[in-house]
Amino acid sequence: MPLRITLVTLLVLLVTVALGATGYVATSQLRDYLIGQQQGELQTQIQSLVTEPARTLQLCSTPYRFAGPTLIACADRTGGRVVQGGDEDPDSLPDVSAITPSTIDSYDDAPFTLGSADGKTSWLLVSEQLTDDTVVVAGIDLSGDQRALGRLILVQLIVGALVLVVLGVAGYLLVRNSLRPLVDVEHTAAAIAAGDLSRRVPAGDDRTEVGRLSQALNGMLTRIEGAFQAQSRSEEQARASETRMRRFVADASHELRTPLTSIRGFAELYRHGAAGGVGGDDPETARMMARIEAEATRMGMLVEDLLQLARLDQQRPVAALPVDLEEVAGDAVHDARAVQPDRTVELVLDDSLTDVPVVLGDEGRLRQVVGNLVTNALTHTPVDARVTVRLSEEPGDPDAVTVSVTDEGPGLSAADAERVFERFYRADASRTRAAGGTGLGLSIVSSLVAAHGGTVTLTTAPGQGATFAVRLPRTGPEGAV
């Protein structure tokens, strides 16, 4: 519920309670006053009857009733009857037949009321002992007082309703105008959330709470806008720097390919004896040339990896041709066995596969994904560690194929697992360099899988091996050609 509606509702409820309490007290006081006046008159009349008992007894013995503004009744042991008062209609009189000297004692000389026979009015009665066997009762009709009280209540209800309506309308307008600065704050916050950081809250009177709030918010918004602008400039500078760095890496890699190819070519010529050197058949010279050839080969691999990452960073669409992952995984396992025949490398087709594991993608790049993962497992695990390539489907997900490479090696720590897909990151730098790695294999895997619309995850723990799981959609990536 809006705040203005809540405030006006509470205000109207409070005023309603106040008017109700005031009306109740006023009506009660007026009723008590009127009854007190009537009671005083009745006491005067009853005393005049008691002071003249002979005349009163004569009145009580009258067989008929005299009309009069007040009521006089006499009661003995047989009951009571009205001897004076009321109009011609006997139903407008109270039933005093049950009043006797014994029953009148229960009122303890206090005034009491009786309803008329027709139930339309009430009578206020007072009694006094006239003789041992006779009680005289005086009464007055309260219908006039009841009409006055009813009229008062009606006037209070009408006036109260008008007051509440006027108060509700005036309160709503007043609260709405008072809360208008908060509505401006709401609209400003919505505009800022939509991206317009230049919006400000209209300035208000600083002598009011809302005005001071507006000033504080404007100051905060100015600082926030400045912080966002500084962050935006920093991000733009970082993106520009990253773009320049990627361009430099791509350009440098292109420029390095030719001299590296030449170095490798000359080293191979020397190794095959096609070119004579100063060292001749000197073993030391041959060893140095072999080192030059090996390092040139490793640098060539690094350059090729950098070029591939640069092309992947451009997010060019990949081919979308049918690729049999069983064939790709089988070739990767066969190559691993050929490279390290003493290692246990196996291919497992999981029972969860509901169809042939064929996906749409670039076969050459998917072969590189599986090959890099298998090579990574062979490089970072002991020779007696088993390596398993598994093809499976996630339960309830037949639209994708999962290729996982699991090893029984030493595993990785949580810190290493978080950074394993970063470029040039090596959990064991010395071992990776000794094996000829560039530190880019898993980065290339991550980029190639993302280019195919898939995901790659790592599950590992120290001493529990590692599992790299690649999930590839069967339909291929969006925007593929």
The edge-to-edge listing of strands for the beta sheet with 387-394 is 345-349, 387-394, 397-407, 466-473, 455-460
DSSP code, position 142: -
Class of domain 3-148: alpha beta
Assigned CATH topology for domain 200-314 = Helix Hairpins (1.10.287)
Around Cβ 26, how many Cβ atoms within 10 Å?
Answer: 13
CB atoms within 10 A of CB 292: 15
Max CA separation in the chain (angstroms): 170
φ and ψ of 305, to 5 deg: -65, -40
Give 210's contacts (C-beta < 8 A, 6+ positions apart). 178, 181, 182, 204
Q: Which listed CATH number (3.30.1490.20, 3.30.390.50, 3.30.565.10, 1.20.1050.10) goes with 321-473?
A: 3.30.565.10
Burial class (CB in 10 A: 0-12, 13-18, 19+), 25: exposed
**Residue 133 DSSP SS3:** coil
Structural contact between residues 92 and 108, judged by C-beta atoms closer than 8 angstroms: no
156: Cα within 13 Å, side-chain hemisphere: 17
Q: In the chain, where are the structural domains located?
A: 3-148, 200-314, 321-473
Q: What is the pLDDT along the chain (481 residues), one digit of tens a residue?
A: 677 788 888 988 999 999 999 999 999 999 888 888 888 888 888 888 888 888 878 777 777 666 666 788 888 877 877 877 766 667 778 877 778 777 776 666 678 878 777 777 788 888 888 877 788 888 888 888 888 888 999 999 999 999 999 998 998 888 888 777 777 777 887 887 787 777 777 776 777 777 777 788 788 888 887 888 888 888 887 777 667 666 666 666 565 666 667 776 767 776 676 555 544 556 766 777 777 767 767 676 666 666 666 666 666 677 788 999 999 999 999 999 999 998 999 999 988 888 888 899 889 889 989 998 999 999 889 988 999 999 998 887 888 999 999 999 898 888 888 888 887 777 665 445 445 456 777 888 888 888 888 999 999 989 889 999 999 998 877 655 5
Give exposure, 378-414, as e/b (b: 16+ Cβ within 10 Å): bbbbeeebebbbbbbbeeeeeebbbbbbbbbbbbbee
- At 345 the pLDDT is 92
CA–CA distance, 458 with 313 (Å, rounded to integer): 22
**What pLDDT score was predicted for residue 266?**
67
Distance from C-alpha of 78 to C-alpha of 81, rounded to nearest angstrom: 10
The model carries a pTM of 0.46
Q: How many CB atoms lie within 10 A of CB 229?
A: 11
d(CA 198, CA 292): 61
DSSP SS3 for 102: helix
